[in-house]
């Protein structure tokens, strides 16, 4: 049977809306795509823009035992045993009590926590304070939630500083939240108690929510101490703490993160999960639970490895002409000043990739405040870090 219509057939697809395509692409994802493309062509590229965590997580080396009766969609807030273990962890680490039944939600990586929190605390047109430079996802998530990201420049004083005066100066009648991240990506700063107390004063004075991204909480060096702003007076019930298994447990492929926040906010995020993700994979939640049982030993091992990588990188970078940097206090990045070379961050990264076959991330991927810098990722094998920095030295000498 042949179907006919009196309406002319339109060959082209219907239009695609711009809500998502209007978002800026992820600068860190973009450099990863370039590296994969070059490697598929047989080009020997050293990627210091990202990479596979090393050492690898021990819970992935043996076959994972996963009972058939758990091969179902589960609680959109997360498995009860995992949430109980997370509440215990947060109690140990932050000194804060969270009800695992109502104040913790497991998310598909720490990244997936950001958007539903924003959808919960802002309305269209509301403003959110984000630091500049900052992780690439914060401002696009604010935009996707219908809000306006107001960038707050970090103050440079022997390192990038959290400037509470600059935060306060950008608060308007439409401001509803601020996003903080310590240890800070990309700069490697660990915010001091004084910096966080000053920021908390701005939040309390203006009745703001705080999204506290603490994904790098396990990686703090040289006597610095990670402090959650949620632990300060008056802050627990206006703060959403975001942490992740991707960094502290070297499980980026598991895509397991979590948030701890007051019950109304967690209930709202859980509603988002019900309709968008259903739940985090129960299989990966079981891996995360196993990781928590070995947390103390594994965290010490990872910290020692990343401290060694940082020290090796710093020693090598100090010998490269025209580069300046402040030693990272936390995380696993080096944020390097390349202004002596007289070209933009994007041009520097393009030339380095072309001449040395080394991939790094332009500082402008993290905001206008990153111009003149590049971020070097130290997550991979130490041999790759050494070879990448050797090539960089040779290209810039």
158, two tokens: 């022997």
pLDDT at residue 11 is higher than 90: no
Distance CA 27, CA 377 (A): 13
Q: Where is average pLDDT lowest: 48-62, 116-130, 157-171, 357-371?
A: 48-62
Contact 361, 374 (CB under 8 A): yes
Is the pTM higher than 0.75? yes
Q: What are phi and psi of 17, to 5 degrees?
A: -70, 165
pLDDT digits (tens, 9 = 90+) for 209-266: 999 999 999 999 999 999 999 999 999 999 999 999 999 999 999 999 999 999 999 9
Query: Tens of pLDDT along 106-126?
Result: 999 999 999 999 999 999 999
Give me the pLDDT at residue 66, please: 75
Q: Which domains does the chain have, with CATH numbers?
A: 27-53+297-396 (3.90.1150.10), 72-293 (3.40.640.10)
State the pLDDT at residue 8: 66
379-391, pLDDT tens digit by residue? Answer: 999 999 999 999 9
Mean pLDDT of the chain: 94
Percent of the chain with pLDDT over 70: 98
Q: Which of 382, 243, 247 has its CA nearest to residue 302? A: 247
* Residue 2 pLDDT grade (very low, low, confident, very high; cuts 50, 70, 90): low
Span 46-64, mean pLDDT? 82
E strand spans, the chain: 46-47, 104-107, 127-132, 148-153, 155-156, 160-161, 175-181, 209-213, 239-244, 257-260, 324-325, 333-337, 358-359, 361-362, 373-377
Above 90 in pLDDT, residue 62? no
What is the model's pLDDT at position 79?
A: 96
- Please compute the mean of the pLDDT values over residues 128-134 and round it to a whole number: 98
- Residue 357: predicted pLDDT: 98
**CA distance linking residue 115 with residue 117, whole number of Å:** 5
Q: Which residues contact 353 (CB under 8 A, 6 or more apart)?
A: 34, 45, 359
Mean pLDDT of 347-371: 97
**82-114 pLDDT, tens per residue?**
999 999 999 999 999 999 999 999 999 999 999
């Amino acid at each position: 049977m042949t179907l006919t219509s009196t309406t002319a057939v339109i060959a082209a697809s219907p239009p695609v809306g711009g809500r998502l395509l209007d978002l800026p692409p992820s600068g860190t994802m973009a450099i990863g795509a370039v590296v994969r493309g070059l490697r598929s062509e047989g080009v020997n590229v050293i990627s210091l823009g990202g990479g596979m965590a090393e050492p690898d997580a021990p819970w992935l080396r043996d076959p994972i035992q996963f009972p058939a009766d758990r091969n179902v969609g589960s609680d959109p807030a997360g498995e009860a045993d995992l949430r109980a273990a997370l509440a215990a962890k947060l109690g140990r680490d932050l000194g804060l009590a969270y009800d695992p039944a109502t104040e913790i939600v497991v998310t598909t990586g720490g990244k997936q926590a950001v958007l539903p929190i924003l959808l919960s605390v802002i309305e269209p047109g509301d403003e959110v304070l984000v630091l500049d430079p900052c992780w690439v996802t914060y401002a696009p998530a604010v935009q996707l939630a219908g809000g306006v990201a107001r960038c707050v420049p970090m103050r440079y004083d022997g390192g990038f500083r959290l400037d509470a005066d600059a935060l306060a100066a950008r608060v308007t009648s439409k401001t509803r939240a601020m996003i903080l991240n310590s240890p800070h990506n990309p700069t490697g700063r660990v915010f001091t108690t004084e910096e966080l107390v000053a920021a908390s004063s701005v939040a309390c004075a203006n009745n703001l929510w705080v999204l506290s991204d603490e994904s790098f909480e396990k990686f703090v060096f040289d006597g610095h101490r990670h402090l959650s702003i949620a632990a300060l007076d008056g802050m627990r019930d206006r703060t959403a703490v975001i942490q992740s298994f991707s960094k502290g447990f070297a499980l980026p492929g598991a895509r397991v993160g979590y948030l701890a926040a007051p019950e109304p906010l967690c209930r709202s995020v859980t509603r988002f999960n019900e309709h968008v993700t259903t739940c985090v994979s129960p299989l990966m939640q079981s891996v995360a639970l196993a990781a928590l049982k070995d947390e103390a030993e594994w965290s010490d091992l990872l910290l020692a490895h990343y401290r060694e990588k940082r020290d090796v990188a710093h020693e090598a970078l100090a010998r490269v002409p025209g580069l300046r940097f402040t030693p990272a206090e936390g995380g696993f990045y080096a944020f390097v000043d390349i202004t002596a070379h007289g070209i933009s961050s994007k041009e520097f990264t393009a030339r380095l990739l072309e001449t040395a076959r080394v991939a790094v991330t332009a500082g402008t991927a993290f905001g206008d405040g990153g111009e003149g810098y590049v971020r070097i990722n130290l997550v991979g094998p130490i041999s790759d870090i050494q070879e990448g920095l050797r090539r960089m030295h040779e290209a810039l000498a």
